[in-house]
Amino acid sequence: MAFTRLEARYIDRDKLDTLLRKEFGSDYGVEAQGDVIEINASRQLTEAEVQSVTWEY
């Protein structure tokens, strides 16, 4: 399993949830503590995937 760490304040959690279910089905874990979201899945998220769930300013 691979870990991806994201800064929670920049992430659209609804988009993240949709992406994770699409890419990994139910085979992933998410832990949020403080300002960090840690995703445990079969691979790390790509930069494009991270950008797709990041708030645009």
Residue 56 pLDDT > 90, yes or no?
no
The pair of structure tokens assigned to 17 is 């949830």
pLDDT digits (tens, 9 = 90+) for 40-54: 999 999 999 999 999
- In the chain, domain spans: 2-47
Q: How confident is the model at residue 55 (pLDDT cuts 50, 70, 90)?
A: very high
Find, among 47, 11, 54, 51, the residue nearest to 30 by Cα: 11
Q: What are phi and psi of 21, to 5 degrees?
A: -65, -40
pLDDT digits (tens, 9 = 90+) for 5-51: 999 999 999 999 999 999 999 999 999 999 999 999 999 999 999 99
- Within the chain, residue ranges assigned H as helices are 13-24, 47-52
- Reported residue count of the chain is 57
Q: What local confidence, expressed as pLDDT, does residue 57 receive?
A: 65
